[in-house]
Amino acid sequence: MKFLDLAKVYIRSGGGGAGCISFRREKFIEYGGPDGGDGGGGGSVYAEAVDGLNTLIDFRYQQHFFAKSGQPGMGRQRTGKDGDDIVLKVPVGTEILDEDQETVIADLTEVGMRVELARGGNGGWGNLHFKSSTNQAPRRANPGQEGVERTLWLRLKLIADVGLLGLPNAGKSTFLAATSNARPKIADYPFTTLHPNLGVVGVDNVEFVVADIPGLIEGAHEGRGIGDRFLGHVERCAVLLHLVDGTSEDVAADYNTIIGELEAYGGELADKPRLTVLNKIDALDEEQRAEAAAALEEASGGPVMQMSGVARDGVTDVLRALRSRIDADRLRRKPETEDTEWRP
């Protein structure tokens, strides 16, 4: 399934049915009076967060959603049928934005959350409603209320516990493949990852979700590269895992590049808890490893862990460090019948 995290939709609620002008026509009933029924209400348009979806690809092939209008009222005091509602089923974590792409209408962060996007029009009153002691044969009925037409944007921000950050080829996809059942594309050239990948990672009988996004480069906040398009997917994460390529000529510069882009992106992303890890240590000797770790600790101003996703060295320690930084209510206990925990 192709990944899509932004979609434009056009919605319209149904209009209300018109009221009816009608009079009783029975042969032996004198002064029968009005009996026009009301029009039916128009259908509304809703959005609902459902389980089992992680992309907006369905909205690439259908962008227009029009609810049914209500039926007009009829004689013999019969009310018209209400129009059917339309429900847009979206993944959990979907933001609904107005046409300006800035005003947030709703943020569906839990399964089952539903929001009304466009309310259907009310049905018009039939002439029976206008009968009075001074007007016993009204020839008046109300038209139905028109529906609401809107243009909206759907923006998906994946719900994950850990977000992977780093320059291209920092080893993010290798880490995800080594610790979960996810199978992201892995190659020895930059920008191998073109869209986010999710993986469920298990350690010490608990599970949490890790999101891998395309690598960031300098100037990403200005639109360079593709990673800036997906930074929104790690905004909801509890902790960020910053992987730094240990084979780089300047690990401190690589670290500062990513931190600079996070700060330039704005919001609370730069203030989120981060775990800094020196990756690809299997390609370094003891002296090179110590030198790179010292430079990275000086740049980050804190402790640095070491790991090799390929050799699976230090991966368990990194997973346990991530687990300790995630709130207990976000962790999921693994079923005892399943054994999917990664082991070296």
- Summarize the annotated binding site for Mg(2+) as residue ranges: 173, 193
Give residues with Cβ within 8 angstroms of 139, minimum separation 6: 21, 127
Question: Rounded to whole angstroms, how far apart are CA atoms 78 and 73?
Answer: 6
Question: Rounded to whole angstroms, how far apart are CA atoms 38 and 16?
Answer: 10
Q: In the chain, what is the straight-line distance between the N-terminal and C-terminal CA atoms, in Å?
A: 31
The binding site comprises 166-173, 191-195, 212-215, 279-282, 308-310
Take residue 216 and report the two structure tokens written for it: 């960031």
Question: Rounded to whole angstroms, how far apart are CA atoms 283 and 326?
Answer: 30
CA angle 118–58–67, rounded 5-degree value: 30
Cα distances (Å, whole numbers) of residue 325 to 166, 253, 258, 265, 331: 19, 26, 21, 23, 11
Starting at the edge strand found earlier in the chain, the sheet holding 104-108 runs 64-66, 6-12, 149-156, 94-97, 104-108
The binding site for GTP comprises 166-173, 191-195, 212-215, 279-282, 308-310
Cα distances (Å, whole numbers) of residue 290 to 95, 277, 278, 281: 44, 13, 11, 10
Question: Rounded to whole angstroms, how far apart are CA atoms 38 and 233?
Answer: 48
The residue to which tokens 């019969």 are assigned? 78
Question: Rounded to whole angstroms, how far apart are CA atoms 6 and 196?
Answer: 13
Question: Rounded to whole angstroms, how far apart are CA atoms 85 and 102?
Answer: 27
Give the CA dihedral 127, 132, 134, 139, nearest 10 degrees: 0
